[in-house]
Amino acid sequence: MRELIKSTANKIGESVQIKGWVHSRRDHGKIIFLDIRDVSGIIQAVAAPDNPEGYEMAKKLRPEFVVQVTGTIAKRPEKLINPNLETGSVEMQIKKLVILNEAITPPFEIDKDTKGINEDLRLKYRYLDLRSERMTKNMILRHKCNQFVRNFLSENGFYEIETPFISKSTPEGARDFLVPSRKQPGKFYALPQSPQQYKQMLMVAGIDRYFQIVRCFRDEDERGQRQPEFTQIDAEMSFIEQEDILQIAEQLITDLVKTICPDQIIQETPFPRISYKDAIAKYNSDKPDFRKDPNDKSSLAFEWVVDFPMFEYKEGDKRWGAVHHPFTSIAKKDLEKLEKNDLGNIRAQQYDLVLNGNEVLGGSIRTHDPKTLAKVFEVLGHTKEEIEQKFGHLLTAFKFGVPPHGGFAVGYDRLIMVLAGEENIREVIAFPKNGEAYDPLMDSPSEVDTKQLRELGISIK
């Protein structure tokens, strides 16, 4: 029966069997010391000549060989205890050793931090990179956060519901990834930039509280902490106001940090708030770093940025655009400004949560009045025919009785990045693309067979 290495610290005097990888091998004359690693940790194993079966096999081992080791767990002498390992107070005295699989020499050292290795090389051999201690810890941290989020939201009345990954292309800010349809030649699906319209229709459906840890897709230029596919904690609530959403989102984040990352210190609770206008005036940014000591990596400075403008004038396109998205509700006091086309002075019921200079959450109250929503689309330059073509499904749904609703989306990769003490979201994503949206591991994107293109009615110019 296999034991996880982490549990061997409590097995002194017992014979156990472990399975994992050879982390390192040190030959000290007649005695061979092995560090054996699995997902739970590392243990030192000792092969001595008085156990010839294990000793002779240990001579053949090299780093990253996959092995099965049977032996007795013994307490280390006091002066040889390694306080940096959970198993540092014990070692395994090898009785039997089986090589389950050999390994060629890795392209980089796995028993050290890989952060300094060329990133494309790390991504090409990502399965090796993920074996390193830091990357394994990042993946486990992400798992723990996933479990906490699901439990917290479920306990607070949210229902986890999946929404489609292939849907309709609609203008929501960034470029869509298009998916050609074989059965309807010349027509395309789009990968969702977010589940925005589906979650709003779930509110029309009476679900009341929805959430999803969801993949989103945006075909935009790579910069900063962005990926063509990324993860959101997506949530929507009915019969609420902005204050209700801020409170539940703040409680989620606060409890997550305290439970999963107790060594991290939240600078101030409740989270302070600042208006968009004041943030720009004071910091020239809508996501400034509010830490009192930016060099203290254990400090988490959260701050709400509220009262965003509803519209912004896009000089390049010579038209007005939505700061957040067109479904954002206009502040009640500013509704009359919409009728007067006083667009530059209209505030939205939109809010962002900033953490150490990173936007980690964004959301808004949604417009649930079909007439106001149609007016917003007109301001954004859509004709009535375009509105019907692109958003008719949502406007039709709203005619059947839509509750007041709103929600938020957590930029999950960024949040995990900060909690893990990393500086790039690629360090907390299992299989990311590089800065050019290319995947060295799978050599993707890549060309496809001519036959596939013919089936789709597509030719490449």
The annotation status of 324 as a binding-site residue, yes or no, is: yes
The annotation status of 226 as a binding-site residue, yes or no, is: no
Rounded Cα–Cα distance for residues 152 and 165 (Å):
25
The annotation status of 220 as a binding-site residue, yes or no, is: yes
Rounded Cα–Cα distance for residues 403 and 239 (Å):
6
Rounded Cα–Cα distance for residues 218 and 172 (Å):
10
The annotation status of 186 as a binding-site residue, yes or no, is: no
Asked if 92 contacts 69 with a C-beta cutoff of 8 angstroms, the reply is yes
Asked if 366 contacts 327 with a C-beta cutoff of 8 angstroms, the reply is yes
The annotation status of 339 as a binding-site residue, yes or no, is: no
The annotation status of 2 as a binding-site residue, yes or no, is: no
The annotation status of 411 as a binding-site residue, yes or no, is: yes
Residue entry with tokens 């203290």: 296
Whether the upstream peptide bond of residue 272 has omega within 30° of 0, thus cis, is: no
What the block records as the tokens of 127 is 């399965």
- Whole-angstrom CA distances from 377 to 163, 326, 388 are 24, 7, 10
The annotation status of 236 as a binding-site residue, yes or no, is: no
The annotation places the binding site for ATP at 218-220, 227, 359, 411-414
The annotation places the binding site at 172, 218-220, 227, 324, 359, 366, 411-414
The annotation places the binding site for L-aspartate at 172, 218, 324, 366
